[in-house]
Structure 1
Amino acid sequence: MFKLTSLNLNGIRSAATKGVEAWIAATGPDCICVQEVKAQWADVQGRFEQLAGLQGHFHFAEKKGYSGVAIYTRHAPSEVRTGFGAPEFDAEGRYLELRFDTPQRKFSLISCYFPSGSSGELRQAAKFRFLDLFDPYLVALKREREFILCGDINIAHREIDLKNWRSNQKNSGFLPEERAWMTKLLSETGLIDVYRRLHPETTSECYTWWSNRGQAWANNVGWRLDYHLATPATAAHARTAAIYKDQRFSDHAPLTVEYEFGI
Protein backbone atom coordinates (compact mmCIF):
# COMPACT_ATOMS: atom_id res chain seq x y z
CA MET A 1 0.00 0.00 0.00
CA PHE A 2 1.07 3.57 -0.73
CA LYS A 3 -0.23 6.02 1.89
CA LEU A 4 -0.55 9.59 0.65
CA THR A 5 -1.72 12.61 2.68
CA SER A 6 -2.60 16.16 1.63
CA LEU A 7 -2.71 18.99 4.18
CA ASN A 8 -2.83 22.77 4.02
CA LEU A 9 -0.58 23.72 6.95
CA ASN A 10 -1.52 27.42 7.13
CA GLY A 11 2.13 27.95 8.07
CA ILE A 12 4.62 25.16 8.69
CA ARG A 13 5.98 26.80 11.82
CA SER A 14 2.49 27.20 13.25
CA ALA A 15 1.52 23.61 12.43
CA ALA A 16 4.73 22.37 14.04
CA THR A 17 3.76 23.97 17.35
CA LYS A 18 0.45 22.08 17.16
CA GLY A 19 2.02 18.65 16.83
CA VAL A 20 1.90 17.93 13.11
CA GLU A 21 5.29 16.21 13.03
CA ALA A 22 4.35 13.80 15.83
CA TRP A 23 1.13 13.02 13.98
CA ILE A 24 3.02 12.29 10.75
CA ALA A 25 5.36 9.99 12.67
CA ALA A 26 2.43 8.18 14.28
CA THR A 27 0.39 7.72 11.09
CA GLY A 28 3.37 6.89 8.86
CA PRO A 29 2.44 8.14 5.39
CA ASP A 30 4.79 7.30 2.53
CA CYS A 31 4.35 10.86 1.35
CA ILE A 32 2.64 14.05 2.52
CA CYS A 33 1.87 16.93 0.17
CA VAL A 34 1.51 20.23 2.02
CA GLN A 35 0.35 23.69 1.02
CA GLU A 36 0.69 27.16 2.52
CA VAL A 37 4.13 26.52 3.95
CA LYS A 38 4.41 30.29 4.51
CA ALA A 39 8.20 30.12 4.80
CA GLN A 40 11.44 30.62 2.90
CA TRP A 41 14.50 28.40 2.67
CA ALA A 42 16.13 30.20 5.59
CA ASP A 43 13.15 29.27 7.78
CA VAL A 44 13.20 25.63 6.67
CA GLN A 45 16.95 24.95 6.66
CA GLY A 46 18.06 22.94 9.67
CA ARG A 47 14.52 22.50 11.00
CA PHE A 48 11.98 21.43 8.38
CA GLU A 49 14.15 19.86 5.69
CA GLN A 50 12.75 16.56 6.97
CA LEU A 51 9.59 15.73 8.88
CA ALA A 52 9.27 12.43 10.74
CA GLY A 53 12.02 10.93 8.57
CA LEU A 54 10.48 12.05 5.27
CA GLN A 55 12.65 14.16 2.96
CA GLY A 56 11.21 17.52 1.97
CA HIS A 57 11.17 19.19 -1.43
CA PHE A 58 9.91 22.76 -1.73
CA HIS A 59 8.55 25.50 -3.97
CA PHE A 60 8.63 28.75 -2.02
CA ALA A 61 6.82 31.96 -2.90
CA GLU A 62 8.94 35.01 -3.63
CA LYS A 63 6.87 36.97 -1.10
CA LYS A 64 7.86 36.20 2.49
CA GLY A 65 5.32 34.48 4.70
CA TYR A 66 3.04 33.67 1.77
CA SER A 67 1.81 30.54 0.01
CA GLY A 68 4.46 27.91 -0.81
CA VAL A 69 4.10 24.15 -1.25
CA ALA A 70 6.16 21.11 -0.32
CA ILE A 71 6.23 17.34 -0.63
CA TYR A 72 7.77 15.13 2.05
CA THR A 73 8.52 11.62 0.86
CA ARG A 74 10.38 8.47 1.84
CA HIS A 75 11.08 7.72 -1.85
CA ALA A 76 13.75 9.60 -3.83
CA PRO A 77 12.26 11.20 -6.97
CA SER A 78 13.89 10.92 -10.37
CA GLU A 79 13.11 14.61 -11.04
CA VAL A 80 11.78 17.64 -9.16
CA ARG A 81 9.82 20.35 -11.00
CA THR A 82 8.80 23.68 -9.48
CA GLY A 83 6.08 25.70 -11.17
CA PHE A 84 3.96 24.87 -14.20
CA GLY A 85 5.19 27.55 -16.58
CA ALA A 86 2.94 30.45 -15.55
CA PRO A 87 5.23 33.22 -14.22
CA GLU A 88 2.51 35.04 -12.25
CA PHE A 89 1.64 31.96 -10.23
CA ASP A 90 5.03 30.27 -10.19
CA ALA A 91 6.28 33.36 -8.32
CA GLU A 92 3.65 32.57 -5.68
CA GLY A 93 4.98 29.06 -5.03
CA ARG A 94 1.86 27.12 -5.97
CA TYR A 95 3.05 24.00 -7.82
CA LEU A 96 5.56 21.27 -7.02
CA GLU A 97 5.86 18.02 -8.95
CA LEU A 98 8.00 15.02 -8.03
CA ARG A 99 8.54 12.51 -10.81
CA PHE A 100 9.15 8.84 -10.12
CA ASP A 101 9.92 7.49 -13.57
CA THR A 102 11.00 3.99 -14.49
CA PRO A 103 11.32 2.30 -17.90
CA GLN A 104 7.87 0.81 -17.28
CA ARG A 105 6.01 3.81 -15.91
CA LYS A 106 5.91 7.60 -15.83
CA PHE A 107 4.36 8.75 -12.55
CA SER A 108 4.17 12.08 -10.71
CA LEU A 109 3.05 13.34 -7.31
CA ILE A 110 1.94 16.97 -7.29
CA SER A 111 1.33 19.38 -4.43
CA CYS A 112 -0.72 22.36 -5.57
CA TYR A 113 -2.26 25.37 -3.85
CA PHE A 114 -4.96 27.07 -5.91
CA PRO A 115 -5.46 30.81 -5.34
CA SER A 116 -8.27 32.00 -3.11
CA GLY A 117 -10.55 34.76 -4.31
CA SER A 118 -12.17 35.44 -0.95
CA SER A 119 -10.24 38.67 -0.25
CA GLY A 120 -11.83 40.59 -3.13
CA GLU A 121 -12.31 41.09 -6.85
CA LEU A 122 -8.60 41.37 -7.72
CA ARG A 123 -7.75 38.00 -6.21
CA GLN A 124 -10.85 36.41 -7.70
CA ALA A 125 -9.73 37.63 -11.11
CA ALA A 126 -6.31 36.11 -10.42
CA LYS A 127 -7.98 32.85 -9.46
CA PHE A 128 -9.84 32.76 -12.77
CA ARG A 129 -6.56 33.43 -14.62
CA PHE A 130 -4.99 30.53 -12.76
CA LEU A 131 -7.85 28.20 -13.68
CA ASP A 132 -7.65 29.23 -17.34
CA LEU A 133 -3.93 28.41 -17.45
CA PHE A 134 -4.00 25.29 -15.30
CA ASP A 135 -6.69 23.39 -17.19
CA PRO A 136 -4.73 22.97 -20.45
CA TYR A 137 -1.60 22.21 -18.45
CA LEU A 138 -3.29 19.27 -16.72
CA VAL A 139 -4.82 18.08 -19.99
CA ALA A 140 -1.35 17.96 -21.57
CA LEU A 141 0.23 16.33 -18.51
CA LYS A 142 -2.36 13.55 -18.48
CA ARG A 143 -1.43 12.67 -22.06
CA GLU A 144 2.15 12.05 -20.95
CA ARG A 145 1.98 10.36 -17.54
CA GLU A 146 0.08 8.99 -14.58
CA PHE A 147 -0.21 11.39 -11.64
CA ILE A 148 -1.95 12.28 -8.40
CA LEU A 149 -2.51 15.96 -7.71
CA CYS A 150 -2.97 16.68 -4.02
CA GLY A 151 -3.93 20.08 -2.81
CA ASP A 152 -6.09 22.85 -1.53
CA ILE A 153 -8.13 23.56 -4.64
CA ASN A 154 -10.24 26.25 -2.98
CA ILE A 155 -13.38 25.03 -4.77
CA ALA A 156 -16.28 23.10 -3.26
CA HIS A 157 -17.49 21.26 -6.31
CA ARG A 158 -21.01 20.13 -5.41
CA GLU A 159 -23.77 21.13 -3.02
CA ILE A 160 -22.88 18.21 -0.74
CA ASP A 161 -19.34 19.59 -0.42
CA LEU A 162 -20.21 22.38 2.00
CA LYS A 163 -22.66 22.98 4.81
CA ASN A 164 -24.34 26.21 3.74
CA TRP A 165 -24.40 25.89 -0.02
CA ARG A 166 -27.48 28.04 -0.58
CA SER A 167 -26.01 31.13 1.09
CA ASN A 168 -22.58 30.69 -0.54
CA GLN A 169 -23.55 30.64 -4.20
CA LYS A 170 -22.15 34.14 -4.72
CA ASN A 171 -19.02 33.58 -2.64
CA SER A 172 -15.56 32.58 -3.84
CA GLY A 173 -15.04 28.86 -3.64
CA PHE A 174 -18.61 28.03 -4.66
CA LEU A 175 -19.18 30.36 -7.60
CA PRO A 176 -20.95 28.79 -10.59
CA GLU A 177 -17.93 29.52 -12.80
CA GLU A 178 -15.57 27.73 -10.39
CA ARG A 179 -17.82 24.71 -10.07
CA ALA A 180 -18.25 24.57 -13.85
CA TRP A 181 -14.47 24.64 -14.25
CA MET A 182 -14.19 21.64 -11.94
CA THR A 183 -16.92 19.75 -13.76
CA LYS A 184 -15.25 20.46 -17.10
CA LEU A 185 -11.84 19.38 -15.81
CA LEU A 186 -13.13 16.05 -14.54
CA SER A 187 -15.28 15.33 -17.58
CA GLU A 188 -12.84 16.37 -20.31
CA THR A 189 -9.62 15.06 -18.79
CA GLY A 190 -11.09 12.00 -17.12
CA LEU A 191 -9.33 12.87 -13.87
CA ILE A 192 -10.91 11.24 -10.83
CA ASP A 193 -11.89 12.97 -7.61
CA VAL A 194 -10.60 10.09 -5.49
CA TYR A 195 -12.45 10.90 -2.28
CA ARG A 196 -15.75 11.07 -4.15
CA ARG A 197 -15.01 7.82 -5.93
CA LEU A 198 -14.76 6.11 -2.54
CA HIS A 199 -17.40 8.18 -0.73
CA PRO A 200 -19.84 9.35 -3.41
CA GLU A 201 -22.60 10.69 -1.15
CA THR A 202 -20.87 11.69 2.10
CA THR A 203 -21.90 15.14 3.33
CA SER A 204 -20.95 16.47 6.79
CA GLU A 205 -18.05 14.04 7.17
CA CYS A 206 -16.38 15.20 3.94
CA TYR A 207 -15.37 18.71 5.04
CA THR A 208 -11.68 19.60 5.18
CA TRP A 209 -11.78 23.34 5.96
CA TRP A 210 -13.58 25.46 8.54
CA SER A 211 -13.56 29.24 8.90
CA ASN A 212 -11.93 30.63 12.01
CA ARG A 213 -14.91 32.95 12.39
CA GLY A 214 -17.74 32.20 14.78
CA GLN A 215 -18.27 28.58 15.77
CA ALA A 216 -17.65 27.00 12.37
CA TRP A 217 -15.44 24.19 13.70
CA ALA A 218 -17.61 23.49 16.74
CA ASN A 219 -20.74 23.33 14.59
CA ASN A 220 -19.04 21.56 11.66
CA VAL A 221 -19.92 24.35 9.24
CA GLY A 222 -17.27 23.27 6.78
CA TRP A 223 -16.23 23.03 3.15
CA ARG A 224 -14.51 20.26 1.17
CA LEU A 225 -11.63 22.17 -0.41
CA ASP A 226 -8.83 19.57 -0.31
CA TYR A 227 -8.58 16.87 -2.96
CA HIS A 228 -6.70 14.01 -4.50
CA LEU A 229 -7.20 14.22 -8.27
CA ALA A 230 -5.77 11.19 -10.05
CA THR A 231 -5.50 9.79 -13.53
CA PRO A 232 -8.00 6.93 -13.97
CA ALA A 233 -5.56 4.01 -13.88
CA THR A 234 -4.01 5.34 -10.69
CA ALA A 235 -7.34 6.22 -9.06
CA ALA A 236 -8.48 2.63 -9.63
CA HIS A 237 -5.92 1.56 -7.02
CA ALA A 238 -7.39 3.78 -4.27
CA ARG A 239 -8.69 1.65 -1.42
CA THR A 240 -9.40 3.95 1.54
CA ALA A 241 -9.85 7.68 2.08
CA ALA A 242 -10.04 9.33 5.49
CA ILE A 243 -10.14 12.86 6.90
CA TYR A 244 -8.45 13.25 10.28
CA LYS A 245 -10.27 15.54 12.72
CA ASP A 246 -9.12 14.44 16.17
CA GLN A 247 -6.46 17.18 16.28
CA ARG A 248 -6.25 20.57 14.56
CA PHE A 249 -2.94 21.49 12.96
CA SER A 250 -4.42 24.35 10.90
CA ASP A 251 -7.81 25.48 9.61
CA HIS A 252 -7.68 22.46 7.26
CA ALA A 253 -7.81 18.75 8.07
CA PRO A 254 -5.47 16.12 6.57
CA LEU A 255 -6.91 13.98 3.78
CA THR A 256 -5.23 10.58 3.50
CA VAL A 257 -5.77 8.02 0.74
CA GLU A 258 -4.26 4.55 0.60
CA TYR A 259 -3.42 3.25 -2.86
CA GLU A 260 -2.60 -0.35 -3.66
CA PHE A 261 0.62 0.20 -5.61
CA GLY A 262 4.27 1.08 -5.05
CA ILE A 263 6.60 3.67 -6.45
Structure 2
Amino acid sequence: MKLISWNVNGLRAAVKHGFIDTFNELDADWFCVQETKLQAGQIDLELPGYEQYWNYADRKGYSGTAIFTKHTPLNVTYGIGVPEHDTEGRVITLEYDNYYIVTCYTPNSGGELKRLAYRQTWEDAFLDYINGLNASKPVIFCGDLNVAHENIDLKNWRSNHHSAGFTDEERAKFTTLLANGYTDTFRHFYPDQTEIYSWWSYRFHARDNNSGWRIDYFITSNQLSDRLLNARILNEVMGSDHCPVELDIRL
Protein backbone atom coordinates (compact mmCIF):
# COMPACT_ATOMS: atom_id res chain seq x y z
CA MET A 1 0.00 0.00 0.00
CA LYS A 2 1.14 3.52 -0.77
CA LEU A 3 0.30 6.57 1.34
CA ILE A 4 1.08 10.16 0.40
CA SER A 5 0.97 13.25 2.61
CA TRP A 6 1.30 16.79 1.26
CA ASN A 7 0.86 20.26 2.68
CA VAL A 8 -0.39 22.00 -0.46
CA ASN A 9 -0.48 25.53 1.03
CA GLY A 10 -3.86 26.21 -0.53
CA LEU A 11 -5.49 23.49 -2.60
CA ARG A 12 -7.07 25.81 -5.13
CA ALA A 13 -3.66 27.31 -5.86
CA ALA A 14 -2.09 23.86 -6.01
CA VAL A 15 -4.65 22.72 -8.58
CA LYS A 16 -3.52 25.59 -10.79
CA HIS A 17 0.05 24.33 -10.43
CA GLY A 18 -0.41 20.73 -11.45
CA PHE A 19 -1.90 19.06 -8.38
CA ILE A 20 -4.16 16.73 -10.38
CA ASP A 21 -1.29 15.54 -12.58
CA THR A 22 0.83 14.84 -9.50
CA PHE A 23 -2.08 13.13 -7.77
CA ASN A 24 -2.64 10.83 -10.74
CA GLU A 25 1.06 10.07 -11.20
CA LEU A 26 1.55 9.12 -7.55
CA ASP A 27 -1.51 6.81 -7.62
CA ALA A 28 -1.68 6.43 -3.84
CA ASP A 29 -4.06 4.28 -1.84
CA TRP A 30 -4.46 7.18 0.58
CA PHE A 31 -3.61 10.77 -0.30
CA CYS A 32 -3.61 13.06 2.75
CA VAL A 33 -3.60 16.83 2.32
CA GLN A 34 -2.98 19.62 4.80
CA GLU A 35 -3.57 23.37 4.62
CA THR A 36 -6.38 23.15 2.09
CA LYS A 37 -7.40 26.74 2.93
CA LEU A 38 -10.99 26.41 1.74
CA GLN A 39 -14.57 25.82 2.82
CA ALA A 40 -17.21 23.37 1.67
CA GLY A 41 -18.33 24.11 -1.87
CA GLN A 42 -15.27 26.13 -2.85
CA ILE A 43 -13.70 23.37 -4.93
CA ASP A 44 -15.00 20.46 -6.99
CA LEU A 45 -12.30 17.83 -7.39
CA GLU A 46 -12.87 15.03 -9.86
CA LEU A 47 -10.90 12.10 -8.44
CA PRO A 48 -12.37 8.91 -9.97
CA GLY A 49 -11.99 5.87 -7.75
CA TYR A 50 -11.43 7.90 -4.58
CA GLU A 51 -13.65 8.76 -1.66
CA GLN A 52 -13.12 12.26 -0.28
CA TYR A 53 -13.14 13.32 3.37
CA TRP A 54 -12.73 16.97 4.36
CA ASN A 55 -12.27 18.88 7.61
CA TYR A 56 -12.67 22.64 7.27
CA ALA A 57 -11.54 25.35 9.66
CA ASP A 58 -14.16 27.71 11.03
CA ARG A 59 -11.97 30.58 9.85
CA LYS A 60 -12.19 31.06 6.10
CA GLY A 61 -9.08 30.54 3.98
CA TYR A 62 -7.16 28.94 6.85
CA SER A 63 -5.78 25.53 7.77
CA GLY A 64 -7.97 22.55 6.79
CA THR A 65 -7.26 18.92 5.91
CA ALA A 66 -8.51 16.24 3.54
CA ILE A 67 -8.02 12.55 2.82
CA PHE A 68 -8.68 10.96 -0.57
CA THR A 69 -8.77 7.16 -0.48
CA LYS A 70 -9.48 4.10 -2.58
CA HIS A 71 -10.47 2.17 0.57
CA THR A 72 -13.79 2.72 2.31
CA PRO A 73 -13.27 3.16 6.07
CA LEU A 74 -15.38 1.65 8.81
CA ASN A 75 -15.67 5.04 10.47
CA VAL A 76 -14.52 8.64 10.01
CA THR A 77 -13.76 11.09 12.82
CA TYR A 78 -13.04 14.81 12.50
CA GLY A 79 -10.88 16.52 15.11
CA ILE A 80 -9.61 15.00 18.36
CA GLY A 81 -12.67 15.46 20.53
CA VAL A 82 -11.36 18.53 22.38
CA PRO A 83 -13.44 21.62 21.52
CA GLU A 84 -10.63 24.14 21.96
CA HIS A 85 -8.54 22.23 19.39
CA ASP A 86 -11.24 21.32 16.90
CA THR A 87 -12.12 24.64 15.24
CA GLU A 88 -9.23 24.74 12.76
CA GLY A 89 -9.89 21.56 10.74
CA ARG A 90 -6.55 19.99 11.63
CA VAL A 91 -7.26 16.25 12.03
CA ILE A 92 -9.12 13.50 10.17
CA THR A 93 -9.13 9.86 11.29
CA LEU A 94 -10.15 6.89 9.15
CA GLU A 95 -10.76 3.62 10.97
CA TYR A 96 -10.20 0.23 9.34
CA ASP A 97 -10.39 -3.34 10.62
CA ASN A 98 -6.79 -3.53 11.81
CA TYR A 99 -5.46 0.05 11.89
CA TYR A 100 -6.24 3.76 11.90
CA ILE A 101 -5.02 6.33 9.38
CA VAL A 102 -4.81 9.91 10.61
CA THR A 103 -3.83 13.12 8.88
CA CYS A 104 -2.73 16.05 11.02
CA TYR A 105 -1.76 19.68 10.47
CA THR A 106 -0.02 20.71 13.69
CA PRO A 107 -0.38 24.39 14.69
CA ASN A 108 2.60 26.59 13.92
CA SER A 109 4.04 28.41 16.93
CA GLY A 110 4.10 31.56 14.82
CA GLY A 111 6.16 34.72 14.67
CA GLU A 112 7.78 35.59 17.98
CA LEU A 113 6.46 32.21 19.18
CA LYS A 114 3.09 33.77 19.98
CA ARG A 115 1.32 30.40 19.78
CA LEU A 116 4.01 28.29 21.43
CA ALA A 117 2.05 27.93 24.67
CA TYR A 118 -1.05 26.87 22.74
CA ARG A 119 1.07 24.56 20.64
CA GLN A 120 2.22 22.77 23.81
CA THR A 121 -1.36 22.12 24.93
CA TRP A 122 -2.18 20.89 21.43
CA GLU A 123 0.77 18.47 21.49
CA ASP A 124 -0.38 16.95 24.78
CA ALA A 125 -3.98 16.63 23.61
CA PHE A 126 -2.99 15.11 20.26
CA LEU A 127 -0.70 12.56 21.92
CA ASP A 128 -3.52 11.58 24.27
CA TYR A 129 -5.76 11.15 21.24
CA ILE A 130 -3.26 9.03 19.31
CA ASN A 131 -2.52 6.92 22.38
CA GLY A 132 -6.24 6.31 22.79
CA LEU A 133 -6.44 5.00 19.23
CA ASN A 134 -3.27 2.97 19.62
CA ALA A 135 -4.71 1.19 22.65
CA SER A 136 -7.27 -0.32 20.27
CA LYS A 137 -5.25 -0.92 17.10
CA PRO A 138 -2.09 0.42 15.42
CA VAL A 139 -1.99 3.95 14.04
CA ILE A 140 -0.45 5.46 10.92
CA PHE A 141 -0.45 9.24 11.14
CA CYS A 142 1.02 11.79 8.82
CA GLY A 143 1.13 15.43 7.99
CA ASP A 144 2.86 18.71 8.47
CA LEU A 145 3.84 18.34 12.12
CA ASN A 146 5.64 21.70 12.08
CA VAL A 147 8.80 20.53 13.82
CA ALA A 148 12.29 19.62 12.68
CA HIS A 149 13.27 17.05 15.26
CA GLU A 150 17.05 16.81 15.01
CA ASN A 151 19.83 19.08 13.77
CA ILE A 152 20.06 17.07 10.54
CA ASP A 153 16.40 17.88 9.82
CA LEU A 154 17.11 21.44 8.71
CA LYS A 155 19.86 23.20 6.85
CA ASN A 156 20.61 26.11 9.18
CA TRP A 157 20.02 24.60 12.59
CA ARG A 158 22.36 26.87 14.52
CA SER A 159 20.67 30.11 13.45
CA ASN A 160 17.16 28.64 13.89
CA HIS A 161 17.57 27.26 17.39
CA HIS A 162 14.81 29.47 18.78
CA SER A 163 12.65 29.68 15.65
CA ALA A 164 9.14 28.26 15.42
CA GLY A 165 9.48 24.61 14.49
CA PHE A 166 12.90 24.16 16.09
CA THR A 167 12.50 25.30 19.66
CA ASP A 168 13.64 23.07 22.49
CA GLU A 169 10.02 22.78 23.61
CA GLU A 170 8.70 21.57 20.25
CA ARG A 171 11.55 19.12 19.73
CA ALA A 172 11.06 17.72 23.24
CA LYS A 173 7.38 17.12 22.54
CA PHE A 174 8.31 15.17 19.41
CA THR A 175 10.83 13.12 21.38
CA THR A 176 8.10 12.36 23.92
CA LEU A 177 5.73 11.31 21.17
CA LEU A 178 8.22 8.81 19.75
CA ALA A 179 8.98 7.50 23.23
CA ASN A 180 5.30 6.62 23.60
CA GLY A 181 5.74 3.83 21.07
CA TYR A 182 5.93 5.43 17.62
CA THR A 183 8.36 5.37 14.71
CA ASP A 184 9.53 8.23 12.50
CA THR A 185 9.43 6.14 9.34
CA PHE A 186 11.91 8.19 7.32
CA ARG A 187 14.53 7.94 10.06
CA HIS A 188 13.72 4.24 10.42
CA PHE A 189 15.11 3.71 6.93
CA TYR A 190 17.56 6.62 6.71
CA PRO A 191 18.80 7.40 10.23
CA ASP A 192 21.73 9.55 9.14
CA GLN A 193 20.49 11.02 5.86
CA THR A 194 21.20 14.74 5.58
CA GLU A 195 20.06 17.50 3.22
CA ILE A 196 16.69 15.89 2.49
CA TYR A 197 13.91 18.34 3.33
CA SER A 198 10.16 18.71 2.82
CA TRP A 199 9.64 22.47 3.24
CA TRP A 200 11.47 25.54 1.95
CA SER A 201 10.71 29.18 2.57
CA TYR A 202 9.57 31.16 -0.44
CA ARG A 203 12.19 33.75 0.55
CA PHE A 204 15.89 33.97 -0.33
CA HIS A 205 15.73 31.28 -3.07
CA ALA A 206 15.62 28.69 -0.30
CA ARG A 207 14.46 25.84 -2.51
CA ASP A 208 17.03 26.59 -5.19
CA ASN A 209 19.69 26.44 -2.47
CA ASN A 210 18.07 23.46 -0.71
CA SER A 211 17.94 25.51 2.47
CA GLY A 212 15.02 23.56 3.89
CA TRP A 213 13.43 21.79 6.82
CA ARG A 214 12.06 18.27 7.24
CA ILE A 215 8.74 18.91 8.98
CA ASP A 216 6.41 16.52 7.12
CA TYR A 217 6.20 12.99 8.45
CA PHE A 218 4.72 9.54 8.43
CA ILE A 219 4.67 8.20 11.98
CA THR A 220 3.58 4.64 12.78
CA SER A 221 2.91 2.59 15.88
CA ASN A 222 5.98 0.52 16.69
CA GLN A 223 4.04 -2.71 16.22
CA LEU A 224 3.88 -1.93 12.49
CA SER A 225 7.67 -1.68 12.11
CA ASP A 226 8.02 -5.09 10.48
CA ARG A 227 5.48 -4.04 7.84
CA LEU A 228 7.31 -0.90 6.72
CA LEU A 229 8.70 -1.13 3.19
CA ASN A 230 10.05 2.36 2.50
CA ALA A 231 9.61 6.04 3.32
CA ARG A 232 10.47 8.74 0.82
CA ILE A 233 10.53 12.52 0.55
CA LEU A 234 9.49 13.49 -2.97
CA ASN A 235 11.46 16.71 -3.16
CA GLU A 236 11.35 16.85 -6.95
CA VAL A 237 7.58 17.52 -6.83
CA MET A 238 6.67 21.18 -7.16
CA GLY A 239 3.42 23.07 -6.62
CA SER A 240 3.74 24.12 -2.97
CA ASP A 241 6.38 25.32 -0.53
CA HIS A 242 6.22 21.74 0.81
CA CYS A 243 6.80 18.56 -1.16
CA PRO A 244 4.89 15.30 -0.68
CA VAL A 245 6.17 12.53 1.57
CA GLU A 246 5.44 8.86 0.98
CA LEU A 247 5.08 5.69 3.03
CA ASP A 248 5.03 2.19 1.53
CA ILE A 249 3.71 -0.45 3.92
CA ARG A 250 2.17 -3.93 3.93
CA LEU A 251 -1.39 -3.72 5.24
**Which of residues 225, 233, 236 in structure 1 aligns to 2:215?**
225
2:227–2:250 contact (8 Å) kept in structure 1: yes
Gaps of 5+ in 1: none
Classify the secondary structure of the residue corresponding to 1:168: coil
Q: Which of these residues, 54, 71, 75, is aligned with residue 58 of structure 1?
A: 54
AA aligned to 1:29 is A
| Cα distance in structure 1, aligned partners of 2:38 and 2:200 | 23
Cα distance in structure 1, aligned partners of 2:113 and 2:190: 34
On the 8 A contact 2:236/2:243 being kept in 1, the answer is: no
Quick one: distance in 2 between partners of 1:147 and 1:129? 21
CA contact (8 A) 1:22 1:52 kept: no
**Do the aligned partners of residues 52 and 21 (structure 1) sit closer, same or farther apart at CA in structure 2, a change above 3 Å counting?**
farther
Map 1:248-259 onto structure 2 (within 5 A): 248-259=238-249
Q: Distance in 1 between matches of 2:80 and 2:178?
A: 19
1:245, 1:228 → 2: CA distance? Answer: 15
Tell me if structure 1 keeps the 8 A contact 2:100–2:133.
no
Question: How far has the Cα of 1:23 moved from its partner?
Answer: 1.2
Q: Deviations over 1:105-157 (max 9, x none)?
A: 3x111010000012334322221221122222222221111110011000100
Aligned length: 251
One-letter amino acid of the structure 1 residue matched with residue 86 of structure 2: D
Large movers: runs of 4+ above 4 Å? none
Pairing of 1:76-87 with structure 2 (within 5 A): 76-87=72-83
SS in 2 for 1:127: helix
**CA RMSD, 1 decimal:** 1.3
- The reply on whether 1:173 has 2:165 as its aligned counterpart is yes
**2:178 pairs with 1:186:** yes
Task: Using structure 1 for the length normalisation, give the TM-score.
Answer: 0.92
Residue 72 of structure 1 corresponds to: 68
> In the alignment, residue 212 of structure 2 is paired with which amino acid?
G
List aligned pairs for 1:80-95, cutoff 5 A.
80-95=76-91
Q: Report the counterpart of residue 230 of structure 2 in structure 1.
A: 240
Residue 52 of structure 1: how far off its partner (Å): 5.5
1:203 and 2:194 equivalent?
A: yes
Residues 177-236 of structure 1 deviation map (CA, whole Å, 9 limit, x = unaligned): 11111111111x11111111011111102x100011111101000000000110112232
Normalising by structure 2, we get a TM-score of 0.96
Q: Percent identity between the aligned chains? A: 39
Q: Which runs of 5+ in 2 are unaligned?
A: none
- For 1:177 and 1:121, the matched residues in 2 are separated by 11
Deviations 1:42-65 (A, max 9, x none): 113xx12x4354221011101110
